[in-house]
Structure 1
Amino acid sequence: MRTTAGDATQDAEHDAVPVHREPGDGLERLGPVEVAVGMPLGPGRRDAAPEPAAAHGRGGARAVLESLVADALRAGPAVVSFSGGRDSSAVLAVAAHVARRDGLPLPVPVTLVYPGLHEADESSWQHAVLDHLDLADRLVTVPVTDEERLLGARARSSLARHGLVWPAAAHANLLVESLGSGTRLLSGEGGDEVLGARRVTPWTVARAHGRPQGLRHLRELAGTIGGPALPLGPLASHNPWIGVPPWLRPPARAALRRHVAGMTRTPWRYDRATAAMTGQRVPQVLARNVQALAADRGVRWHHPLQHPRFVRALAHDGGSWGFRGRTDTMRFLFADLLPDAVLSRRSKASFNGSRFGDDERDFAAGWDGSGVDDGLVDVRLLRDLWLGERPPGVTGLLLHQAWLARGEPR
């Protein structure tokens, strides 16, 4: 892949949190248990570089975010992957603000449209954000029918070339394929984790109000003390891994429980817990792998909300107690850029329905269980889930593993 001076700067920043790379392809592979679970587990490589000095005073995270976005805009052309959710709306708002302030080309919001998939429809939220930012005339829509299927033609071609890669959906990203070489793609990836609650958050809320706010709040307070034996803290309501996936065998379940236990034992202080997120394996592997696959199209992918510089600056801004939850953090960062209805919304779109279709179910119907470790996965139950009405999205990696094992022509 060709690089420029701007690319070298971004590479240096991402390499501040190094991860293992497979020789020659820039991809990081998951271990057998991680494949069974459907995600990376545990901590990644720790940052060996000295931390940059934090900005003085509250608001340093916003300044860092604007700097990261400005770098991408200057290296442009730049587009924003815009679903209409809180995170992509925030990144688009910051990009538009920076472009107008610095005299840079305005970003182009690009959104995927899924005809017939009601749970993926965010059009009302998209229009509200675009009208507020005066960007409605710049919106580009890309319709998706079966192009993003887990075993569609695009995914099979990428699997044949790259092999098993997490996240599974990255093999067939129609948005990336719609962009020209040299494009800078900005996303809101990582917002749920970076901007969300921490272990101390229920106590921050109690401190702000002077008392607990009802029974649910009392349970959350108790959960933060009880740790993994009492998964009732702020992580429980936001983390789908608290409930163990039914297809896992005992060894994989034990590994997942250890991972969840580690998550509940994060540092008590908001700033330390937030700073520690830069060393987690999930954002490291995600940033590395999606960028490596996007490089096939000459696209440079930026995830400013999970960039180590932004995460550390947010930790500094939050201090010991942090914020009173996700919405409070959004208001702190973006109240001057977006309507409060957008900052405080709780609904989210779902795109799993675009991943499974006839090809995937036909494969599952003829699958004999080979290629998947039966010591880690109940293959019969997994097959039933794939043939069901709503196959779990996190099993996409296992579907790819089974398909590759069948030895399809490459």
Structure 2
Amino acid sequence: MEVATGWVYGSVPPTPLPRASATPRAALDDAIRPALVAGRCYVTFSGGRDSSAVLAAATALARREGHALPVPITRVYGDLPETDESDWQRAVIDHLGLTEWIRLELGGGESDLLGPVARATLAQRGLLWPPALQTHGVLFQHLRGGSLLTGEGGDAVLGARRVTPLTGLLRTRRPDRALLKHAAYAVLPRPGRRRFARRASQASPQHRWLRPAAFEQHVRLLSADMAAEPLDYGAATRAIPRQRAFATIVHNHTAAAAEYGVRASDPLLDPRFVAALARFGGHTGLLGRTATMQALFSDVLPAAVLARTTKASFNRAHAGEATREFARTWDGSGVDEDLVDPEQLRRVWLSDRPTMATGVLLHSAWLASERAAV
């Protein structure tokens, strides 16, 4: 089911988080420091808020403690304007006073989910989630022997929680209708929240290729996860790294990088930082993503970066000509037809709105075609 939907459901068993006595920034420093002291340290840097926060925190820590400055590394897709964040990137680089910046100009299908890099690793590893990891060799090969920090998990860890609308009500004299609606949802019992979550889940892109019964199962699983979020900010924050999606990302990213001799870590998902943020936010937390960014990173990032609401899209970067050529000639094998409509899936791959959620299906289909050709 998870191959068909391109999503990982549920949570892993709880494990105790470290006792949080430090501030979130001090805990983040503790998560970042090993990468700085171990040698050359790189930070994947798109210009978005998450990667900017990690780069800024790492730079500030390096200067305070006398380590070599981290090196931002950016993947550039010159022919895809929706991926361009160069203005935001330059604003952050200039603000931090960094002079070394690696910009990888990707072409020739290097980022395509069926480009030469992805095919080589796919043949070696088999299926892997998230599927974009199959293309990361083009990045990792430049970093051999070094450490790599990412901003993975920032949207969730630094974002709003179920309790956030209630916090807004407490701090707003004249709440608008939308805030009242979200606050009412927050206090519903779980069955009521699940009904609302099911309604929201109906808009998920999986309806484009799943059979009706499979899509209904996807909605049921997704809405159950959404409705399980605790009301307490601290408890909800501590639950984020336990989501199987994030646990899988951290494990697979670390393992994939290690194949190239790269020590990769995701400090925004580090248990020390998560525990400190949960303690810092208390029961009610802050007023959402921007307020959290401002509370944690206003000393190291420009105000405009802290408050930005735009976000680049990279879906087309992973669905290039190699993917489209395979889709045109694909015989429909390699996917579970009880769950997936092959012709609808082909249309998604060939459309101008591809989605990474079909990436594992694409890889499964390609592996089946390779086996059939032997």
TM interval, short-chain normalised: over 0.9
| Structure 1 counterpart of 2:184 | 222
Of 243, 253, 269 in structure 2, the residue corresponding to residue 290 of structure 1 is 253
Offset of residue 44 of structure 1? 1.8
Distance 1:240 1:171, change over 3 A: farther
Task: Letter of the 1:245 partner, please give it.
Answer: H
Offset of residue 255 of structure 1? 3.6
Offset of residue 180 of structure 1? 3.5
| Structure 2 counterpart of 1:41 | 9
| Structure 2 counterpart of 1:369 | 332
- Of 160-169 and 246-255, deviating more is 246-255
Task: Letter of the 1:180 partner, please give it.
Answer: L
Q: List runs of 5+ in structure 1 lacking aligned partners.
A: 1-32
Task: Letter of the 1:216 partner, please give it.
Answer: A
Cα distance between partner residues in 2 of 1:241 and 1:102: 48
Q: List runs of 5+ in structure 2 lacking aligned partners.
A: none
Task: Let me know the Cα RMSD of the aligned residues.
Answer: 2.0
Offset of residue 326 of structure 1? 0.4
Cα distance between partner residues in 2 of 1:79 and 1:252: 40
| Structure 1 counterpart of 2:42 | 79
Matches within 5 A, 1:52-67: 52-55=18-21, 60-67=23-30
Task: Letter of the 1:39 partner, please give it.
Answer: W
Of 234, 241, 246 in structure 1, the residue corresponding to residue 208 of structure 2 is 246
Are 1:157 and 2:120 counterparts? Answer: yes
Q: Secondary structure at the match of 1:245?
A: helix
Query: Are the counterparts in 1 of residues 19 and 275 from structure 2 also a CA contact under 8 Å?
Result: no
Counting matched residue pairs gives 367
Cα distance between partner residues in 2 of 1:51 and 1:165: 27
After superposition, the C-alpha distances for 1:275-329 in whole angstroms (9 at most, x for unaligned) are 1112110111001111111112111111000112211111110000001000011
Distance 1:240 1:275, change over 3 A: farther
Offset of residue 76 of structure 1? 2.2
Are 1:139 and 2:101 counterparts? Answer: yes
Distance 1:378 1:63, change over 3 A: same
Of 196, 199, 205 in structure 1, the residue corresponding to residue 159 of structure 2 is 196
Cα distance between partner residues in 2 of 1:310 and 1:386: 38
Distance 1:143 1:279, change over 3 A: same
Query: Are the counterparts in 1 of residues 5 and 206 from structure 2 also a CA contact under 8 Å?
Result: no
Q: Secondary structure at the match of 1:71?
A: helix
Cα distance between partner residues in 2 of 1:251 and 1:119: 31
- Of 274-283 and 321-330, deviating more is 274-283
- Of 366-375 and 187-196, deviating more is 366-375
Q: Secondary structure at the match of 2:94?
A: helix
Matches within 5 A, 1:242-321: 245-249=207-211, 250-321=213-284
Task: Letter of the 2:17 partner, please give it.
Answer: E
Q: Secondary structure at the match of 1:220?
A: helix
